[in-house]
Amino acid sequence: MALPSVISLLILKSEMEEYTYKTIKNPSEGLFKDKGSKFMAFAYPVISEDEAKMHLNELRKEHHSARHHCWAYKIDGLSRSSDDGEPTNSAGKPILGQIEAFSVTNVAIIVVRYFGGVLLGVGGLMQAYKEAAKSALQNAEIVEKEYMCGFSISFSYEQNSAVMNVLKRNKAEIISQDFSEACSFRCRVSLEKSQQCISALKNICKVVIENE
């Protein structure tokens, strides 16, 4: 999965004035019960819509007998939610509301509902989905991370020392590397250092910014 581009992240940073964000460290779960209905919440750290949809598909298979699989996610500046057949705005929005209440991003929450035979009404559903999502986030470890951007570089063996000095100076990570006739690296660096790192590398070698 590709990391966000420098351009998109710089736009985000100009809106947020932050180089870091809060998210959850690992998947977590929560549970809320009301009048026989069971609301099972699953929270995941995610970095793309595809990753969020993958978790949703897995839960739909695992809990195929559940009546509803409602969800919400927030990834950088993008927010999405779904009521999955529940009354409009009774599920997805309360779930998303808890993501925003906890001030986290790059998080997806899916709430699986097993119907207990008693109708809860719109107000009851909103409260149930809210409490289930809240429970999952309360059980999660919230951490602060740096926004990162990905890029690829290619250079000759003679340029290796200069390239490595730039990467080391800017604390860039090498994700993968290939050595053949020339050297090719996939890297990532913190958004805060991205402009100076990439500008320095462009004076030495070819740089391709991911998703630009």
**In the chain, where does the domain assigned CATH 3.30.230.30 lie?**
20-144
What confidence tier does 181 reach under pLDDT thresholds 50, 70, 90? confident
Q: Is the pLDDT of residue 179 over 60?
A: yes
Assigned CATH class of 147-209: alpha beta
Residue-wise pLDDT for 56-83, tens only, equals 999 999 999 999 999 999 998 899 999 9
Q: Which residue has the tokens 């929005």?
A: 93
pLDDT at 170 (0 to 100) = 97
Give the model's confidence band at 11: pLDDT under 50 very low, under 70 low, under 90 confident, else very high: very low
Q: How far is CA 77 from the centre of its chain?
A: 10
What global pTM score does this model have? 0.79
Note the pLDDT tens digit of each residue in 113-133.
Answer: 999 989 999 999 999 999 999
Q: How far apart are CA 82 and CA 130, in angstroms?
A: 14
Dig out the tokens for 86 from the structure.
């529940």
Q: What angle do CA 144, 212, 197 make, to 5 degrees?
A: 60
pLDDT of residue 100: 97
Residues whose CB is less than 8 angstroms from the CB of residue 100 and which lie 6 or more positions away in sequence, other chains included: 74
20-144 classified as CATH 3.30.230.30: yes
What pLDDT is attached to residue 5? 46
Whole-angstrom distance, CA of residue 134 vs CA of residue 130: 6
The residue type at 145: K
What residue ranges of the chain are covered by domains with CATH 3.30.70.240?
147-209
